[in-house]
Amino acid sequence: MSNIVAIVGRPNVGKSTLYNRLTETRKAIVDDMSGVTRDRHYGLAEWTNHPFTVVDTGGYVAGSDDVFEAAIREQVVIAIEEATCILFIVDVTTGITDLDDEIASILRKSKKPVFVVVNKVDNNALLADSSVFYSFGLGEIYTISSMTGSGTGELLDEVVKTF
Ligand code: GDP
Ligand code: MG
């Protein structure tokens, strides 16, 4: 059984951009049939000779905010159950939102390794804004730009150590 790296976070933080970067041309997507995994995409990735499965989570259920947030919460709970480790993506340009805080509180109860990944750190000026994310109490933060790929190598070096 392959190691599974789950990407979670609220909408628009860059989960799918990171997923696409990690899976690149290896798009062997395994489509799951169950309703609960409808919003999940599985792809194959590899780093320093460690193959793994990446899961991109959506949770985009139309309807009230309650349903919307419940869907995201459900994705996080599934990730905690199925993943070897979890990438909790946040957005340096928005800082911490209520939904980020809610996801963080679920992840703090997880026994699986959680990486706080601060995305959209496209330049050094944004690095200074990243330190607020230590307040989640989830340990080290990893600053990346999914767009340029910067920082992803340092992150993946740590991720593969959890396998
Ligand atoms: P998701 O909803 O979490 O899957 O987020 P997406 O991957 O769809 O990205 C949301 C938006 O953020 C898109 O417009 C992306 O182009 C943009 N985005 C993603 N990663 C980065 C990044 O590293 N830097 C910047 N500036 N924008 C990014
Ligand atoms: Mg997405």
Residue 32 vs residues 16, 37, 40, 41, 110: alpha-carbon distances, Å: 18, 6, 8, 8, 24
Closest residue by Cα to atom 5, ligand 1, is 14
Please tell me the predicted confidence (pLDDT) of residue 37. Answer: 47
Please tell me the predicted confidence (pLDDT) of residue 32. Answer: 45
Please tell me the predicted confidence (pLDDT) of residue 72. Answer: 82
In the chain, the number of structural domains is 1
Please tell me the predicted confidence (pLDDT) of residue 143. Answer: 98
What number does the ligand 1 atom closest to the CA of 56 have?
4
Contact assessment for residue 138 and residue 108, using Cβ atoms and an 8 Å cutoff:
yes
Write out the two tokens for 64: 């009230």
Please tell me the predicted confidence (pLDDT) of residue 71. Answer: 80
Closest residue by Cα to atom 18, ligand 1, is 14
Sheet holding 114-119, edge to edge: 40-47, 50-57, 3-8, 85-91, 114-119, 141-143
Give the Å distance between the CA of 58 and the centre of ligand 2. Answer: 5
Here the CATH number for the domain that contains residue 55 is: 3.40.50.300
Which pLDDT tens digits describe the chain residue by residue (163 residues)? 689 999 999 989 999 899 999 997 555 454 444 444 457 888 899 999 999 999 998 755 445 566 677 888 888 998 899 999 999 999 999 999 999 999 999 999 999 999 999 999 999 999 999 999 999 999 999 999 999 999 999 999 999 999 9
Q: Which residue has the tokens 């792809």?
A: 43
Domain encompassing residue 16: 3-162
Please tell me the predicted confidence (pLDDT) of residue 57. Answer: 86
Interstrand relation of 40-47 and 50-57 (parallel, antiparallel or unpaired): antiparallel
